[in-house]
């Protein structure tokens, strides 16, 4: 409210200075003439008629167009005409400066005649009174809706309810501004006022309403008055600290207030009869205030993070100085283009400077509005609402920038479609290209979001080994490939449509691309073989991401695919990148189930029935153990005697388990079998050597041992 009141006072001060003659540079006493004659007043009223002023402007523009048409159409002629127009524009501004005194004096006489004895202070008090009336009406509305505001400050769990809450907050704040406008402008228009007075007061009240709407939008996005951390996380749509939010809120209000009230002041000068050149001088002078505010923002904007290491702070300061310097140069150049009358280049530079920043801010606001409280979410958690909101706001910003430039450059987009010249065709092609690229970007972002969300769901998975888990593994294999192919298709189609919109004949291009494709296919048969082989592997569902396969000398876990190769991670770490054409027969070791068989060697005196019961009991215990039960399909059991060896009886054991889990189960089964056999007197067989003899040979061996025994050793 302080910014709005200050802006209103600054704007009305111009009218007050006109009425009282208090401008320092033009404080000469006005001639003590009485009221202007009736003929003069009629002439002034006639000059203020909108139809007369529109006709005068059209006549002036027609003279400019006629003079431009008479100039040569060569490049040098166009440059000469541009330079001449620039010189004339600057000369007219320089000539208008000394005439400002007379402009203000004539405007003063005109206002005095229109106000019919009212003073400038009375006008200021009148505007302030209606401003206070609007503010009072809004205060009553805010008190009445205070309970609703408190209810809208609670967090919402779902995206739809969160969006409804944000829309309700914005709607209530905007309703307060509308009530302010109705209470001020509506109440003022309810009375019969002189025409010039009515236009002056309405202009400044409308500027106040525009400023209020900008402040409502700033508070909605920045929430600068919040202090509690939970409220900041919930309501602030751009992640930043409270001090940074207050900085941007204050600069936003100052910039918008200066701009709107300056615009209203220049419009008031037009109403009270200032010449176009004098109005431009005043507007350029007020533009210096906007330039000063923008330079202040460029040099004093806060850091994006509140806490950082000394090295990061120093790096940010260097980049901040460089960026602020470059931005200052751009801002000064834009102001110079505006003063020079090059409005087309000025608005083009302004759009080029502000549009990327506006798109980035809109994207962050969209993600924050539909995302998590801190605005961060995994790629698979991004919702379609965020995509629609982000891309929709981006499209609106781009379309708005195009319409603004078309208005500034005086391009009639509707009338342009009926003409068939080279410039109009190129311009239609550019506009069509923008629409095509926006639609293609929306299609790609929507499909990419759907695929990423589906991939994120497959990461959770169903029960291991179930049918749902198999389907999800297949989706994890096919969806990334489908996403890449879809991106290529959307990009190619969008490029072809853009070329067609620009007037390029794409028929020969497609035919030429087909011929080149055939030639490349003959020249790169190996590449074509790899791609086609990969397609058939995927159609046959030979392997999926996460499965362990073996093909020839290559084996490992499938990590990812490309169009021509597969990456296999060996269990010891190395990664094989194998072209599909070299895979050949594939042995998949991760499908459905696996039967694991192993042999145990026991001595010939073993009770085989007892061993069978022990192994069966171990298998049942492991099948009931929660740590192993999900991975055991058929429990461990003894199949029988496999063969009689030279020193042992070999018995075979068998179990059915999930693929890849048999190794862990087998190790645990070996440990339990060893413990059970030891407790029940069953010995494992192993090869031994026994030397047996007698007579003289044994005596000789004994004597040999006696001879090698060290002296003094005990018998």
CATH of the domain at 566: 2.30.30.60
292 and 155, same structural domain?
Answer: yes
Using CB atoms within 10 Å of the CB of residue 85, give its burial: 0 to 12 exposed, 13 to 18 middle, 19+ buried: middle
Q: Average pLDDT, stretch 324-339?
A: 90
Answer yes or no: is 237 within a domain. Answer: yes
CATH number at residue 602: 3.30.70.100
Answer yes or no: is 262 within a domain. Answer: yes
Within 303-361, strands assigned E span: none
pLDDT band at residue 713 using 50, 70 and 90 as cut-offs: very low
The token pair at 15 is 């009218």
268 and 144, same structural domain?
Answer: yes
Kindly report, residue by residue over 376-395, the tens digit of the pLDDT.
444 444 567 777 777 888 88
Cα separation of 268 and 97, whole Å?
Answer: 18
β-sheet bridge partners, residue 119: none
**Three-class secondary structure of residue 569 per DSSP:** strand
CB 207 within 8 A of CB 264: yes
Q: What pLDDT is recorded for position 295?
A: 92
Cα separation of 596 and 469, whole Å?
Answer: 23
231 and 102, same structural domain?
Answer: yes
pTM equals 0.60
219 and 96, same structural domain?
Answer: yes
Most confident option among 377-391, 418-432, 660-674: 660-674
Query: Please, what's the b/e burial string for 515-542 (b: 16 or more CB within 10 A of its CB; e: otherwise)?
Result: eeeeeeeeeeeeeeebbebbeebbeeeb
Q: Which one of 284, 302, 320 terminates a domain?
A: 302
What domain range includes position 659? 594-679
CATH number at residue 492: 1.10.287
**Residue 124 or residue 396, greater confidence:** 396
Range from 33-47, 469-483, 571-585 carrying the lowest mean pLDDT:
33-47
Alpha-helical segments (H) within 71-145:
75-96, 100-115, 120-144
93 and 237, same structural domain?
Answer: yes
Q: What is the dihedral of CA 33, 39, 44, 50, to 10 degrees?
A: 170
119 and 263, same structural domain?
Answer: yes
Judged by phi (left if over 0) then psi (alpha if -120 to 50, else beta), residue 552 lies in left
164 and 19, same structural domain?
Answer: yes
Cα separation of 233 and 248, whole Å?
Answer: 18
Q: What angle do CA 678, 682, 686 make, to 5 degrees?
A: 100
Answer yes or no: is 385 within a domain. Answer: no
581 and 552, same structural domain?
Answer: yes
Answer yes or no: is 353 within a domain. Answer: no
CB 598 within 8 A of CB 556: no
Q: Which one of 287, 302, 317 terminates a domain?
A: 302
Answer yes or no: is 79 within a domain. Answer: yes
Range from 118-122, 313-317, 320-324, 490-494 carrying the lowest mean pLDDT:
118-122
652 and 568, same structural domain?
Answer: no
| Total tally of structural domains belonging to the chain | 4
229 and 141, same structural domain?
Answer: yes
Query: Please, what's the b/e burial string for 29-64 (b: 16 or more CB within 10 A of its CB; e: otherwise)?
Result: eeeeeeeeeeeeeeebeeebeeeeeeeeeeeeeeee
Task: Output phi, psi for 604, to 5 deg.
Answer: -70, -20
Distances (CA, A) of 91 to 61, 96, 270, 323, 454: 18, 9, 21, 35, 67
Nearest to 274, CA basis, from 200, 180, 191, 336: 200
Answer yes or no: is 502 within a domain. Answer: yes
582 and 600, same structural domain?
Answer: no
Answer yes or no: is 249 within a domain. Answer: yes
Nearest to 263, CA basis, from 1, 5, 14: 14
Q: Average pLDDT, stretch 440-458?
A: 82
Answer yes or no: is 519 within a domain. Answer: yes
517 and 548, same structural domain?
Answer: no
- The average confidence (pLDDT) of the chain is 75
Handedness of CA 655, 658, 664, 668 (dihedral sign): negative
Q: Which one of 588, 612, 643 terminates a domain?
A: 588
Q: Average pLDDT, stretch 494-505?
A: 82
Length reported for the chain: 715
């Amino acid at each position: 409210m302080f910014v709005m009141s200050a802006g209103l006072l600054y704007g009305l001060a111009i009218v007050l200075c006109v009425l009282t003659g208090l401008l320092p540079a033009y404080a000469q006493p006005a001639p003590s003439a009485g009221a202007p004659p009736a003929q003069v007043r009629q002439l002034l009223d006639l000059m203020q008629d909108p139809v007369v002023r529109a006709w005068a402007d059209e006549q002036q523009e027609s003279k400019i167009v006629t003079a431009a048409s008479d100039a040569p159409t060569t490049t040098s002629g166009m440059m000469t005409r541009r330079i001449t127009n620039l010189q004339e524009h600057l000369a007219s501004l320089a000539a208008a400066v000394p005439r400002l005194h007379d402009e203000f004096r004539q405007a003063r006489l005109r206002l005095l005649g229109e106000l019919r004895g009212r003073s400038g202070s009375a006008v200021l008090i009148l505007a302030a009174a209606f401003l206070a009336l609007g503010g009072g009406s809004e205060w009553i509305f805010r008190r009445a809706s205070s309970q609703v505001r408190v209810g809208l400050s609670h967090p919402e769990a779902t995206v739809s309810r969160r969006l409804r809450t944000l829309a309700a907050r914005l709607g209530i704040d905007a309703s307060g501004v509308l009530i302010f406008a109705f209470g001020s402008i509506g109440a003022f228009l309810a009375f019969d006022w002189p025409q010039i007075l009515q236009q002056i007061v309405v202009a400044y009240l409308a500027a106040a309403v525009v400023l209020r709407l900008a402040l409502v939008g700033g508070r909605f996005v920045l929430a600068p008055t919040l202090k509690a951390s939970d409220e900041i996380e919930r309501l602030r749509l751009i992640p930043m600290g409270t001090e940074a939010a207050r900085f941007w809120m204050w600069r936003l209000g100052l910039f918008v207030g200066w701009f709107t009230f300056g615009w209203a002041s220049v419009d008031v000068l037009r109403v009270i009869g200032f010449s176009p050149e004098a109005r431009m001088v005043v507007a350029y002078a007020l533009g210096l205030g906007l330039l000063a505010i923008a330079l202040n923002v460029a040099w004093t904007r806060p850091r994006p993070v509140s806490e950082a290491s000394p090295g990061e702070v120093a790096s940010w300061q260097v980049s901040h100085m460089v960026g602020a310097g470059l931005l200052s140069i751009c801002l000064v150049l834009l102001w110079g283009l505006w003063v020079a009358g090059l409005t087309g280049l000025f608005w083009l530079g302004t759009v080029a400077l502000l549009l990327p920043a506006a798109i980035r801010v809109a994207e962050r606001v969209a993600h924050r509005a539909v995302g998590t409280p801190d605005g961060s979410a995994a790629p698979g958690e991004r919702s379609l609402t965020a995509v629609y909101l982000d891309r929709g706001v981006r499209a609106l910003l781009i379309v708005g920038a195009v319409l603004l430039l078309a208005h500034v450059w005086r391009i009639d987009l509707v009338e342009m479609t009926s003409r068939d010249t080279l410039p109009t065709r190129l311009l239609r092609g550019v506009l069509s290209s923008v629409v095509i690229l926006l639609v293609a970007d929306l299609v790609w972002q929507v499909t990419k979001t759907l695929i990423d969300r589906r991939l994120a769901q497959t990461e959770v998975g169903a029960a291991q080994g179930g049918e749902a888990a198999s389907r999800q593994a297949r989706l994890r294999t096919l969806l990334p490939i489908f996403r890449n192919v879809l991106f290529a298709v959307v990009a190619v189609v969008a490029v072809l449509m853009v070329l067609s919109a620009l007037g390029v004949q794409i028929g020969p291009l497609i035919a030429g691309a087909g011929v080149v494709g055939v030639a490349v296919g003959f020249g790169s048969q190996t590449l074509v073989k790899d791609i086609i082989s990969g397609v058939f592997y995927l159609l046959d569902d030979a392997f999926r991401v996460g499965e362990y396969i073996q093909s020839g000398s290559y084996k490992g876990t499938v990590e990812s695919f490309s169009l021509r190769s597969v990456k296999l991670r060996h269990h010891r770490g190395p990664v094989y990148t194998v072209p599909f054409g070299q895979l050949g027969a594939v042995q998949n070791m991760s499908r459905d189930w696996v039967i694991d068989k192993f042999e145990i060697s026991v001595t010939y005196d073993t009770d085989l029935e007892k061993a069978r019961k022990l192994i069966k009991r171990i298998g049942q215990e492991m099948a009931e153990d929660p740590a192993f039960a999900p991975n055991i399909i058929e429990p461990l059991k003894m199949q029988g005697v496999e063969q009689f060896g030279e020193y042992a009886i070999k018995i075979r054991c068998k179990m059915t388990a999930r693929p890849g889990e048999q190794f862990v189960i087998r190790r645990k089964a070996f440990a339990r079998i060893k413990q059970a056999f030891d407790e029940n007197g069953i010995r494992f067989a192993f090869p031994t050597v026994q030397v047996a003899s007698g007579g003289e040979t044994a005596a000789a061996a004994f004597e040999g041992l006696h001879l090698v025994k060290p002296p003094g050793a005990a018998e």
